[in-house]
Structure formats: C-alpha cells, structure tokens
Structure 1
Amino acid sequence: MEIGTVKGLNFIRVASACPLTRVADVAFNLKEIKSCIDQAVSVHAALVVFPELSVTSYTCGDLFLQQRLLNQSEDAVAALRDYSLGKDILIAVGAPLNMNTAVYNCAYILFNGKILGIVPKSYIPNYEEFYEQRWFSSGRKVIGATVDLAGQKAIPFGVDLLFQSGAAQFGFEICEDLWSVVPPSSHLCLAGANLIGNLSASNEVVSKSDYRRELVRSQSAKCMSAYLYSGTGIGESSTDVVFGGELLIAENGQMLAANDRFQRTSQVISSIVDIDRLNLQRIKNISFREARSIVPWQARKIAFVYAAMNVGTFDRPVDPHPFVPSDEHVRESRCREIFSIQTAALAKRLEHTGMKRAVIGISGGLDSTLALLVIAKTFDLIHLPRKKIMTVTLPGFGTTDRTYHNAVALCKELGTDFHEVNIVAACLQHFKDIGHDPKIHDVTYENVQARERTQILMDLANKHGGLVIGTGDLSEMALGWSTYNGDHMSMYAVNCSVPKTLVRYLVRYVAEKKTDHQTSEILLDILDTPVTPELLPKGSEGEITQKTEDIVGPYELHDFFLYYFVRSEFEPERILFLAQQAFAGKYDEAAIRKWLQKFIRRFFTQQFKRSATPDGPKVGTVSLSPRGDWRMPSDACFATWLNQIQ
C-alpha cells in the first residue's frame, strides 16, 4: 500500500547510506554517493544520511591540510548540490569546510539544488586511534554564523540548525558527538528535532558494534526521536584500523533497520518513521517538556517543502501482538519478569495485611488459572503452605464438564484447599426474590450468577481470614467485560494490567517450562478452551454456547487497539490503518472497522467500572488504574473518536 494518499498520517521514509569510497579519490567517491542518492530516491526516501567526510573519505590524515583536497571537496559538494535539483530528498553528506584559517568536519545539508545549511562537528576526538584535532577545529560554539560557498551566499552554518518540512524536523550531529556526555542531538531534539542523522566514521574493534547499536537505540529512546546512523565502510585506509560501514535506523528505542557490516559494495538501507508517534510521546512526557529550558541556543529553523510525502510501499513492520515479544527468548524472559512483579506485589499485600490465606474462584478458564499460578508461586516465595490457598469452583447454569474437570484437576495438582459451591439453587432463589423469570436469559440472568459467585468468595474470605484475589485481566477492563460488583470486584487483582494475548503466553510458559507433566497437560487443555464466562446454559450435548470473542470481538484485535489508543495516543483512523497492515490476510477492513467501533464504544461507556477497580500491580507499559496511568471521566463522549471511522 502506498501512503502518500492517506490523509493526515505523518509517516516518512528515511535512508542511511554507506558508499564505497577510496581514500582522497573525490571523483570516485562522488560517483558512488550519487549512486546511493539514486537508490534512496527509488524507494521514496525523504532523507538520506551519508558517513562522516564521505566526499573525501575519513582517513586522509594530513592530506586534510592540502588545499588541493579541500578545493576538490568543495567542488564535489557543489556538484552534489546541483545533482539534488529536482529530487524530493534531503541529503546529508560529510565533507570538510575551510573557513577563516580553520578546517571543520561538517555535515552539508542539500535539497533541490541548494545547500540549506552546514553543521560542524562539535566534539573532536584526540585519543587512542583518533587524532582529529591535528586537522579539525571544534564547531561546538559556532552559533548563528553563515558562510559563502560554491557561489551560494549566506549559507547558515552552526550547531544550532534545524531543517523543517511540515511535521518533520531534522537535526544532525557527527560521530563523536553521540559519544559525548551531552550529545548535540539532545539539545536538537529539545529544540524540536524529531529525526536525527549521525554522519559517522567509527572503526571496528571487538564488541564495539554492540555498544554502538545500544548507544543509537538508547539515544533515540531518550530523545523520543528517530536516529539514523551512517558509518563509513571498508574503503577507508586499513593502515591501523578497519571500518565496517554500519548502518542503523532506530525509533524511540526500537531498531527499525540495520545492515550487515563489511560489505564490499555501496549500501543503502531504509525504513519508515512514524513522526506522529514521536510527537505524541513527547506531549505525554512532562520531563521532556521541562528539559527544553536547558537548550543553550535558540534554534535556527530552516524551512523547505517536500513536493510529496509518499513513502512508497508500506513496509514498516507492525506487530499484530504489541504486548507479546515475537522473539522466543525475549518472551520467556518477559514472562519470568511479569511473574516476579505479580508475586512480589501479592507477597507485599499479604504481609502488610497479615493474611495467611488467599481465596480465589476457579473456573477452568485462562484468567483464573493465571491468578492461581501467581498465588501458588507467591505462597512458595513467602513460605506459606499451599493448603492455605482456598480454591473454590462455583458451577452454574453454563458450566461445562471440560472447564469443571480442568478446574478441579488443576487445584488438586497444585495442592490447594479445594472447595465446590454450586450456585444454581441460590441463583434460582434470587430470581424468585427479584421477580425474574429464569427462562429469560438476559443480562440479569447472567449478572445474578456473577454476583452470587463474588458474594460467596467474599464471605469465605471473611470466614477464613483471607484475601479474595481477582482474576480479571487488562483486556476485560478495557472493554468493561465484567459484572459491576461481581467478577469486577476483589480484594487484590493480580492480573489487572496483563492483556489477554499475554495471559495465554504466561500460562503456556508455566505449562512448558515450569511444571510437571500432569499439570502441564491440564494447562494446555485450558489454553485450548474457548474464552467464555459460561453464564448461559450449555448446549444439548454439554458444549460451550457462549464464546466471548463472538460477542465482543477477537481479543488480539482489541489488545492491538488498546495498545495504540492508550500507549501511543493514536487517533482511530491511524489505528485502523495500522491494524490493516498488521492483520492483512486474517481480518478484512470491514471486520477491523466493526470491532474498532465496538472497542471505542465500550472503552468509553465502561469507564465507570475502571473508576472503582481494586488495587493491583502494573506490569507493562499500559495500565488502566484510576490511581495511576489512566484518569478519564466516566461520562466522556465517544462521538469525536467514533465519527472518524464511521
């Protein structure tokens, strides 16, 4: 899909390039740079960043003091400026600048036949293998200056330059600048830049690439920006060091694209950056806003205008399950950490209250299973016997043999104090008390059962001196898929910030990694059971008739919507578009739109339930606690959001 026609979505394709170079062979280098520009243009990149001193090559040594090389470099910059005419791409290329008897290591910013500005390197390394101060002066204090060059007058020159087109604001720094205590990019981003280009010449030694990648990723996260790193390659002199030509593109802590180092041809990588995502994160981050006062200069913003913002084929990866790491090892580590957070939280609450028992309703479903596993691990952690865990199964009108037997078997395998309380008679009596016909299977029929179960659990907790542990998860909170003062309520809610898509992996993690064969078999069957509240009568053959996802929609879609609505603050139109990319081939546009509309309606109308939720630990980046991350009036209108995707 091409994005240029999608209104209001500020995506931009950017590129990082490493041309094959020859030391001091400006003509050869110019030819390769032009070839890389052409490649970047062919994929609709709006920005391409080249390595440090790529016009001359980085390892020229004392040749940087030769006027012949400096003159050729200036001529090449002029040629590249002219080559940019008619091309809808911002070009950042490295070359020296000879001005007022000083030579600066610079980034030349070119667009459509003009040199828009020149950014000097701030920090000039002069240690170990680096001797740059022998040739170059620091540009750290160059602010507000201009320079005449290659027939062009008053070109802005300095570290205070930002280049702006619409929502995109570009800043540039050079190699060592990133390694400094306070990189210039930090000031540039505080001044407004949301995309940073680094023109670099960082040589290779063992493990340096790992550190470099982490530095780029970390700086993009701290600055809430995109960060493009372009390192010079194997064409540099190998007299004492070797350069690998590393190319990196990161966004807000996530590595979007990277190349394989030590390539023997010119390389160009590209990725699509989400400018709106970056800007929205900055709006949320109070510390970022407050830090703007430390910028040591007033930025000079140089405006230019793209003819179009078409990124070509939309190949930006969109994870359909943003709460669940796709890498198996990362996912396993995440599961361990979440269990540690949940158990630490519950242990603290038990120790603080002095309670030695926990009470939990077990349905044979995913959520209560996860909560029970957390309780069992917590009791082991604080050296309480599992017989102090009162597990209660509460069969009703819709309880099936499969869920019932799984609930009973799991409790017995875990060694808990198991109880069964059938709620059918109590519910029938309650129907009689309130004048409800039990043949009418409406919301009253369902909620009577949910509240009866909660009443029993609460009273058992009082009787035995325990805490009722809630089982509801984050996805159910978002949709309001709970009975108010029924399963909505508990004394501590261990699953409250675990989304449904992640609940599955947590249970599977225990089944596959942390338990015996018999318990694992039970857990795997629970995982294969459809998600259901079992509040409607079962079928004629004892099968489940009420499936949650048939009613509210697929949880994987709702978790996707939730992540981008709350975590990223995206508008419905943008969420709809991203969901189409993430779930292409699985759900069509009409289905995604339908369930997104359902999500918006339920998210807004069910806030009153979230406003009265019990305590529970935050485990991930999204939480709906009314005391923590999410403060929303219960009577807010959803029309503004819903109208965008009607």
Structure 2
Amino acid sequence: MNNGFVRVAAAIPDLRVADCAFNVSCIADLVRRGEEEKAQVICFPELSVTGYTCADLFFQQQLLSDAEKALNELQMLTFSTTSVIIVGMPVRVQNQLFNTAVVLQGGHILGVVPKTHLPNNNEFYEKRWFSPSTATGVQRITLSGEDVPFGTDLLFSDGKFSFGIELCEDLWVPIPPSSQHALHGADIIFNLSATNELIGKHQYLRQLIEQQSARCNAGYVYSSAGAGESTTDVVYAGNGIIVENGKIIASSERFSFEPQLIVSDVDIERLQADRMRNTNYTNEKSDKTYRTIKLEDAHFTQFELKRTFDKHPFVPPLTNRDASCEEIFSIQVGGLAKRWKHTKAETVVVGISGGLDSTLALLVCVKTADKLGIDRKHIFGITMPGFGTTDRTYTNALNLMKSLGITMLEISIKDACIQHFKDINHDPDTHDVTYENTQARERTQILMDIANKHNGLVIGTGDLSESALGWATYNGDHMSMYAVNSGVPKTLVRYLVDWAAHKLESQSEEILRDILDTPVSPELLPADESGNIAQKTEDIVGPYELHDFFLYYMVRFGFSPSKIMFLAQNAFGDIYADDVIEKWLKIFIRRFFAQQFKRSCIPDGPKVGSINLSPRGDWRMPSDAVAFLVN
C-alpha cells in the first residue's frame, strides 16, 4: 500500500455473447491496462467470460467447455502480472452449475466464489440455469487443472488489506453476504454484477452501494455488464462504481460502447480507523469460519494517487451547502435555546468585536431569541475597544448590533487595563503576552459582570480551530457560560457567516460582507500607522485552512503526521510548498499537544460535526502527553 491506499479497478470489457475466446482477449487487454495503472485488484462483470445473457446456452456443453478453455488462456496471458483479477463465469461442480467469481493472480486460480442469491422474478431466470451457493457443501474443486478453494467463506489478503466478494443480487437482499465479509475482516467488497437499466433504477443502485459501503465501513467496487450483452429484452449500460465508506470516489460512463477501466485508490487506514472506534462494529459477527487466501505482494509500492482530497473537509459540498449550513445553524440555535430556557436567564450577553466568530455567535443569539419568542433587546451586545481596535472593526461591530436590533453597550477597556498594568508593575509599552492577555481577561470580566447584573448568560465566541491551537487566553476569551461556536472550525465559520449574509439577515448583508473581508485578528496589538490591523492571526499561527485540514485527519481518523503530510501535499500542493506545509504541521502538532490543558476545562457547547474537542464528548487526552514527531 502507498500511505494506506490500495489501488483498485472496475473493468467493463468489450463482449460478445457466448464468444469466450473473444471475451477473454478483451479481459486480458484491460488487465494489461490495469497493470500499467498499478491497480492491485481488477474486477470484471458477472459472467464476463461467457456473457450474462446466454440464457439456455448455459446448458450447452460446448459453452461450458469454451469457458474453461478461455479461463486457461487467461491464466497464461496473465502469468507475468501481479494484479489480482476477478472474472465471472459459470462453473460446473458435481452436476450443478454455479454463477461464480474466479480470482486469479500471476496465472494461478486463488479461489472461486459462487453466487448465493439468484434472482428469479420479472426479467430474471437464474434459477433455471444455476444453483445457489447453499446447494453444495463442497469446499474445493478442480478448475483448469488446479485444486482450488470454493465457497462464500473466502477472504483474500496480502497481510495489509483483505477483500471479499459478492455477486449482483447478493447486494439487493436484506442482509447481503458482504455484511459478514466485512465483519470478518474484509476491507473492500468486490461485486460482479449484470444489472439491467430501468428508469430510476440507476439512482437506487447508487444509493444501495453507498449505503452498504457505509454500513460496512468498507470500500465497495462494483462492476456491471455493459453494451456487449444481448438487448433481446433488456439493456445493460456498463456500471463501474468505486465507493469508500459511503462516498462514490469514481464511476464509469454509462451506455458507452468503448471498454472502460475505472481506477481509484481506497484508503484502507481510514476504513480501519472507523471500525476501531466503533466498539459495536463486530456485535453481529456470525460464528461462520472464513478461509483466508494469501495474495502475492504487488510489485510496486509507490504511485501517484488517482483521487484528490478536499482542502476544506469541514465545509459542506456545494451540492448541498445551503441545507447543510441551515442544519448546522439550527444545531447551534437548538443548543442555546435549551440552555436559555433551562437556566431561566433573562438575557444573553455576547462580546462583539467586528470579527467573524463574534458575528456568528451574535447571529445564533438573534435567531435563538426569535425562536423562543424573546425580544431581541434581551440580547446584550458589548463592544469593548482596546489598544488594537481599528476603526473598521469598531464600526462594523456597532453597525451590526444596530441592524439586528439588540441592546448595544460600548465599554472601553483601555483605562482598566492601564490601571491593571500599574497594579502588576507592567510597562504598557512592552507588548508581550501579559499586555495581550490583560485585555482578553478584562473583556471577559466585563461580560461576566454584565451578565450577573442582568441575570444573563455569557455566550462564548471562540471556535473549534482556536480550541485546537489553544489560540485563546486562559480564563479570558477561553471562558463563557455557553460556547455556541465550540464545534465549528474557522473554515466553516466563514461559510456560515457568508450563508447568513444572504439567507438570514438581509438588512445586515453589507456589514456581514465587510466582516468577511476583514483579516482574522484578536486586535490586541496597536494598529499600524495607517490604522489597519497589524496583528494577523494567520501570520502568527499559520493558515487556518491548513490547521483545519490537519485537525480533521488527526482527530477524526487518528492518522500519523506522515500520513497527514501526504494528504496535505495532495490537497494543497498547488498552493503551498512541501516545506511550508511541514512547517505549519509541526506547529499545529506542537500547539495541539501543549494546549490540551485549556481544552480540559472548556465550557459547554454543541457538537455540530464529526469532531469536537470537549473533554465530556469526543476528546479525552492527558494534558502532559508528548507531542508526535513529524518525520
């Protein structure tokens, strides 16, 4: 494997019904292409050696003999290849005929898997010709002169990953054989199929494959019969679909008359990480004993991935972004609404800086008040200008609060901070961490005391990315009474505010647009000579898009730094040089480990996605653990 990835292929060859020699020559062509593409396993359609639509020709001895002869030819043609090949063909066993998948590698037959569920309704008549796998207890057969394992209890493994096989209708039953294959260790399921096309059927098929892949935490490679099959009564379009844990990562062109080889890379480590975390995964594992067939190692270990990775894994895809943003926002509103009602607080109090995080928190407060039927004047928005506050953020904070119709307060922290510097004998011209954190803690004190004064709740504005990096002042902006953004990473905050700008608050859209265009900053250091923000967060800790990427793959899947680096190079190679990615990855890991003590005592807040860093929820980590090394 290459960094945990296995390359697989779904092949749809040219085909002539009942012309086994021609079919095998076309299969061999695609095998050679697959070998050039460094595919470790290549799956062909159901009965691809003979053709699925042979009908009563399956009873002809000549066809069955031709199929075995063609299989022998395929063995010779592929003797020098290391790719594993799965082809479909009828196999005779003790006067019975089985619809099977034959697995070959390096010219040898590794095993034969018979179909279990034979469709026999509407346009399907398989029971007319074939017996189900349950019709025999034979465990080994002689095929093409070799004594080979036979049965549905076969798993194929090279020691790094394993795969199992089911055929077509096996997927469509309530409990597919692949469910037990996965529970017994199959990381990938290969399905040899001959599914005909009907209106609406294709979409249903895709959903079926996606759901089974997700349910099994498995890769799923589906290869279905194409245009060469007979169209006497039905039409076959040629479906090659590769899925990873419920997500289609590659698919073929339907109704093509050209041979197709659909190649992609399945992340085995990702699948195994999900299985390991789910302690219920093996609850329904049967007592069935599986036989494991050893595969030879591929002759290659490195290959450039055929797939790309989203730079922003926390951000919903464009196809359903509006619906996803609305759902996330509803989770935040639902969490705050429950807390507001339960505490019987008269108000909520939120600090408004004119930045992204406080803007999102305020929008959540406003929509929560609307949902509960509470006057927006019960929301106290407090802007607290300090030494680094710029005119731009100050103006945006005031205009935003005014446009939303909440109670506005302005309390400068400058005099209080100067007095505090005197109290602790700190030179205000020394712009160090004491200078910065004094301001953050003073703001939190104001928020807490105003909340006490007006029977309110202080609503936290900090986000998930800041929590991961420890980019918060301990017992300053680190603290609140309910943290509505705690499950939202910085890259997603931006999309939520952008969505809100044109979906929620039209009267505030222009202000929200300017907030979106403002550089991310805590504004704790004085502005530059032009009055612009001098302290830009991403110049200090690094790009949030990189940190969110690192966070997702480290916490969600437990990937090693080297694997994360590999994925980041794939996703961001067109933006950042390798040494830049490595630099920020090292900083992310160092800060993530060093700042756990802040996360160990963070306030309550709603989880909205697959990751949260609450010690009461997803993440439990010792504060003094040694940071991983980036090799």
Aligning the two structures, in what range does the TM-score lie when normalised by the shorter sequence? over 0.9
Post-superposition shift, 1:12? 1.6
State the partner residue of 1:175.
Answer: 168
Alignment partners' CA distance in 2, 1:347 and 1:514:
18
| Structure 2 counterpart SS, 1:553 | coil
Q: Contact 2:40–2:298 (CA<8 Å) still a contact in 1?
A: no
State the partner residue of 2:347.
Answer: 357
Alignment partners' CA distance in 2, 1:405 and 1:289:
57
Alignment partners' CA distance in 1, 2:503 and 2:301:
47
State the partner residue of 1:323.
Answer: 314
| Structure 1 counterpart SS, 2:283 | helix
Q: Are the structure 2 counterparts of residues 394 and 132 from structure 1 closer, same or farther at C-alpha, using a change threshold of 3 Å?
A: same
Alignment partners' CA distance in 2, 1:42 and 1:237:
31
Q: Are the structure 2 counterparts of residues 141 and 392 from structure 1 closer, same or farther at C-alpha, using a change threshold of 3 Å?
A: farther
Deviations 1:19-71 (A, max 9, x none): 12122121221121111112211211111100000111111111111111111
In structure 1, which of residues 613, 618, 628 is the aligned counterpart of residue 602 of structure 2? 613
Alignment partners' CA distance in 2, 1:228 and 1:61:
26
Alignment partners' CA distance in 2, 1:333 and 1:260:
29
Alignment partners' CA distance in 2, 1:113 and 1:36:
15
Matches within 5 A, 1:354-433: 354-433=344-423
Alignment partners' CA distance in 2, 1:411 and 1:623:
29
Alignment partners' CA distance in 1, 2:545 and 2:259:
41
State the partner residue of 1:585.
Answer: 574
State the partner residue of 2:140.
Answer: 146
Q: Partner amino acid for 2:213?
A: S
Q: Contact 2:381–2:408 (CA<8 Å) still a contact in 1?
A: yes
Post-superposition shift, 1:181? 1.1
Post-superposition shift, 1:509? 0.5
Alignment partners' CA distance in 1, 2:330 and 2:291:
49
Do structure 1's residue 163 and structure 2's residue 156 form an aligned pair? yes
State the partner residue of 1:312.
Answer: 303
Deviations 1:538-590 (A, max 9, x none): 22221111111111000000000000000111000010111111111211111
Unaligned 5+ segments in structure 2 are none
Q: Are the structure 2 counterparts of residues 419 and 84 from structure 1 closer, same or farther at C-alpha, using a change threshold of 3 Å?
A: same
State the partner residue of 1:253.
Answer: 246
Q: Contact 1:169–1:194 (CA<8 Å) still a contact in 2?
A: yes
Alignment partners' CA distance in 2, 1:604 and 1:101:
66
In structure 2, which of residues 329, 338, 355 is the aligned counterpart of residue 339 of structure 1? 329
State the partner residue of 1:105.
Answer: 99
Q: Contact 1:43–1:311 (CA<8 Å) still a contact in 2?
A: no
Mean alpha-carbon deviation: is it higher for 303-312 or for 589-598? Answer: 303-312
Q: Are the structure 2 counterparts of residues 469 and 612 from structure 1 closer, same or farther at C-alpha, using a change threshold of 3 Å?
A: same
Deviations 1:418-450 (A, max 9, x none): 000000001111111112111111111111110
Q: Contact 1:123–1:140 (CA<8 Å) still a contact in 2?
A: no
| Structure 2 counterpart SS, 1:166 | coil
Q: Are the structure 2 counterparts of residues 82 and 19 from structure 1 closer, same or farther at C-alpha, using a change threshold of 3 Å?
A: same
Post-superposition shift, 1:326? 3.6
| Structure 2 counterpart SS, 1:286 | coil
Mean alpha-carbon deviation: is it higher for 11-20 or for 563-572? Answer: 11-20
| Structure 2 counterpart SS, 1:372 | helix
Q: Contact 2:15–2:22 (CA<8 Å) still a contact in 1?
A: yes
In structure 2, which of residues 26, 34, 37 is the aligned counterpart of residue 32 of structure 1? 26
Give me the CA root mean square deviation: 1.3
Alignment partners' CA distance in 1, 2:105 and 2:326:
50
Deviations 1:344-392 (A, max 9, x none): 1111111111123110000000000000011111111111111111000
State the partner residue of 2:555.
Answer: 566
In structure 2, which of residues 585, 600, 605 is the aligned counterpart of residue 596 of structure 1? 585
| Structure 2 counterpart SS, 1:287 | coil
Q: Contact 2:28–2:78 (CA<8 Å) still a contact in 1?
A: no
Q: Contact 1:366–1:531 (CA<8 Å) still a contact in 2?
A: yes
Post-superposition shift, 1:13? 1.1
Q: Contact 2:337–2:368 (CA<8 Å) still a contact in 1?
A: yes
Mean alpha-carbon deviation: is it higher for 427-436 or for 117-126? Answer: 427-436
Alignment partners' CA distance in 2, 1:209 and 1:227:
16
Do structure 1's residue 439 and structure 2's residue 433 form an aligned pair? no
Q: Percent identity?
A: 56
Q: Contact 1:319–1:582 (CA<8 Å) still a contact in 2?
A: yes
| Structure 2 counterpart SS, 1:171 | strand
State the partner residue of 2:489.
Answer: 499
Matches within 5 A, 1:505-520: 505-516=495-506, 518-520=507-509
In structure 1, which of residues 624, 628, 632 is the aligned counterpart of residue 617 of structure 2? 628
| Structure 1 counterpart SS, 2:293 | strand
Post-superposition shift, 1:128? 1.6
State the partner residue of 1:300.
Answer: 291
Post-superposition shift, 1:86? 1.1
Mean alpha-carbon deviation: is it higher for 22-31 or for 390-399? Answer: 22-31
Alignment partners' CA distance in 2, 1:356 and 1:175:
61
Q: Are the structure 2 counterparts of residues 422 and 144 from structure 1 closer, same or farther at C-alpha, using a change threshold of 3 Å?
A: farther
Alignment partners' CA distance in 2, 1:140 and 1:425:
84
Unaligned 5+ segments in structure 1 are none
Q: Contact 1:126–1:132 (CA<8 Å) still a contact in 2?
A: yes
Alignment partners' CA distance in 2, 1:70 and 1:507:
65
Do structure 1's residue 194 and structure 2's residue 187 form an aligned pair? yes
State the partner residue of 1:555.
Answer: 544
State the partner residue of 1:53.
Answer: 47
Q: Partner amino acid for 2:337?
A: A
- The size of the alignment, in residue pairs, is 631
In structure 1, which of residues 213, 217, 220 is the aligned counterpart of residue 213 of structure 2? 220
In structure 1, which of residues 464, 468, 479 is the aligned counterpart of residue 458 of structure 2? 468
State the partner residue of 1:71.
Answer: 65
Q: Contact 2:346–2:454 (CA<8 Å) still a contact in 1?
A: no
State the partner residue of 1:92.
Answer: 86
Alignment partners' CA distance in 2, 1:216 and 1:585:
33
Alignment partners' CA distance in 2, 1:184 and 1:194:
14
State the partner residue of 2:236.
Answer: 243
In structure 1, which of residues 273, 283, 286 is the aligned counterpart of residue 276 of structure 2? 283
Alignment partners' CA distance in 1, 2:334 and 2:288:
47
Alignment partners' CA distance in 2, 1:579 and 1:142:
51
Q: Are the structure 2 counterparts of residues 127 and 563 from structure 1 closer, same or farther at C-alpha, using a change threshold of 3 Å?
A: same
| Structure 2 counterpart SS, 1:452 | helix
| Structure 1 counterpart SS, 2:113 | strand
Q: Partner amino acid for 2:72?
A: A
Mean alpha-carbon deviation: is it higher for 135-144 or for 432-441? Answer: 135-144
Alignment partners' CA distance in 2, 1:22 and 1:323:
47
Do structure 1's residue 62 and structure 2's residue 56 form an aligned pair? yes
Post-superposition shift, 1:143? 6.1
State the partner residue of 1:576.
Answer: 565
Q: Partner amino acid for 2:626?
A: C
Q: Are the structure 2 counterparts of residues 144 and 376 from structure 1 closer, same or farther at C-alpha, using a change threshold of 3 Å?
A: farther
Matches within 5 A, 1:452-467: 452-467=442-457
Q: Contact 1:11–1:311 (CA<8 Å) still a contact in 2?
A: no
Q: Contact 1:217–1:254 (CA<8 Å) still a contact in 2?
A: yes
Q: Contact 1:394–1:423 (CA<8 Å) still a contact in 2?
A: yes
Post-superposition shift, 1:144? 6.8
Alignment partners' CA distance in 1, 2:610 and 2:298:
38
